[in-house]
Each structure stands twice: as structure tokens, then as C-alpha cells.
A and B are shown apart, each in its own frame.
Chain A
Amino acid sequence: MRDIRSLAGGLALIVGVAVAAAVLANLLRPSGRIAWVEDWSHYIEARALEAGLPLADLPAVETIVSNGQHVVFDARPEADYLQGHLPGALSLPYTEVEDRFEDVQWRLTPEQPVLAYCSGTECDESFLLSQFLRKQGFTNLLLFAGGFDAWQKAGKPVEKGAAP
């Protein structure tokens, strides 16, 4: 019994010292402390704006999907794409972009309007994919930061399976 008590005491001591040191270190940080609580839900939007990448909100994405002038890229892993994606979207997982890009490149000119999305505000594959496409010379890029989650939550139509 004493063992468990001394073990718990040791755990509390180590964690306590660590938390105190963390608080002190952040208060005294020479390069400016970071926020204790930060809203990461707008992280992707912030990065996109910083990178000069325009954002599309849900109504804008609805218009894009219905008029079909944009190529819509789903940047999530292909398994997620197969389970459901925006109507007309093509699968281009960011994690495999270097192998997969050739498959879609032939359809596109650099001026082709492109919209990219991933699962939602907690993913950045769509942002990274847009950056990759920009490096390939694409000039007309749009990011849907709300991603598949926002689309599905709004009750918009979802397509399943592979692209025709």
C-alpha cells in the first residue's frame, strides 16, 4: 500500500514540477509567450490568407459545384473519397500527389480554375495541395476550408465511389 502511495506522490511531484516549469517558462519566454488557449479552428484560413490563397465559402462552393467550371480536387486519402465526396470532385490525395498528379495533369491548363478541399478545418492537405499546384504553375486556385465536413453538415448532396 505504501508503495502505491509513494508512487502516486512521485507522479504528482514530477507532473507538478513540470507544470510549474512550463508556466514559468512561458511567462518568462524571451521571444514572447504563446497563448495558453488558441483558436486553431481558423488555422487553415489564416495560413491561406497569409499565402495569398483565396477562400471559398459554402455558397460559393455550391455555385462552383453546380456550374462545373472548376476542377474540384479532394485532397483526402482515397479511401475517404470513395466513401463520399463533393459531386464531380476528383481524388488527388496530397499524401500521394507526386505519384498521382500525372494522372490528372493532362486534363488541365495552368489557367484552369481549381478548388481544393479536405476533411474539414482540422486538416491542411487542401492547403498543401494548393501550394503544390501553385508551384506547378496553376494561377486560379481556391480553397474550401470548411471541407467535406461543412458540406455534409449543410446537407448538400454527396457522391460515392470512384469518379466516372
Chain B
Amino acid sequence: MNWIVWLCRLALAAVFIGASIPKIIQPHDFALAVFRYQMAPYELVNLVALILPWIELTAGIALLLIPKLRAAANLLIAGMLAFFTVAISINLYRGIDIACGCFTVNAEAGHMGWLNLARNIALLAACAFLWWNSSRKESKV
């Protein structure tokens, strides 16, 4: 069981840390991606683009390396995944055809689709598994 736990942690941390780096390096390009989702008020676009990638990075590192913060990091990552899933779904439904802005800030990158949703749901399942596993351990103690 232990190796599945570590696999889930590794996958989630790798995805979130990997996703945060290009956004941190090119905040204005990421702001454009946020703008194109047509969900944040204009005044908040840059703030979201500046802060969100750092939350992804910190949560990813905490999940992997800081046992005391694992539960909080897991919850935060699940929250972000749920939020991204809703945002992608809304824009797929609205027919707004934009790049995902998930792992690259390049607006010409492949446009998002159902695969992005499927990936998010798989990652959410990993979060749920970690949560279930840690509460199971606690109840044994």
C-alpha cells in the first residue's frame, strides 16, 4: 500500500510543481491565459496569475516533503483541481476554444479538451485516495 501512496504523492507533486514553473517564469503570459478563461474580473487577472502558481508550487513541495503539512497540501491541491475542472468544463460548454494554460503559458499550445478533464479527475481520485488512506491510519491509532 505504501508504494501506491508514494506514487500518488509523487504524481500530484510532479504535476503541480511542473505546472507552476513556466507560469512563475512568465507571469504576464499566464495572465493572458487567465484573461482568456473569461472568468476572473479584469482587476484580479494579474493577482491570480501572480499568486496561483506559487500556491501550486508550495502545495506540491509540502505534499512531497513536509509530513506535517501533507493533509493541508492534499486538501489545497484537491481544491485547485476541482476549481480547474469547473473552469475547463464551463469553457468547454461555452465553446470558448483556448489553450489550457495548465503546463505551458503558450497561447498557441494545443487547445484544451476532454482529455484535460479526464486527467484532472484522475488526479482528484489520487487526492481522495491519499485522504482516505491517512484518515484510515489515524483511526487505527
Contacts and interface: CB of A to CB of B under 8 A. Distances in A.
Contacts of B76: 11, 14-15
B50 A11 contact: no
A80 B46 CA distance: 28
Contacts of A14: 55, 58-59, 62, 69, 72-73, 76
A123 B58 CA distance: 32
B72 A124 contact: no
Interface in A97-151: 122-124
Instruction: Give the size category of B's interface with A.
Output: 20 to 34
A34 B72 contact: no
Given A18-B58, A25-B24, A95-B95, A10 B68 contact: yes
A26 B52 CA distance: 13
Interface stretch (B6-14, B27-35, B121-129): B27-35
Nearest to B56: A18
Contacts of B58: 14-15, 17-18, 21
Contact of B46 (A17, A18, A37, A94): A37
Given A10-B72, A14-B76, A26 B45 contact: no
Interface of B: 24, 27-28, 31, 35-36, 38, 42-43, 45-47, 49-51, 53-55, 57-59, 62, 68-69, 71-73, 75-76, 94-97
Given A40-B45, A122-B38, 6 more contacts: A6-B71, A7-B75, A22-B53, A34-B31, A37-B47, A123-B38
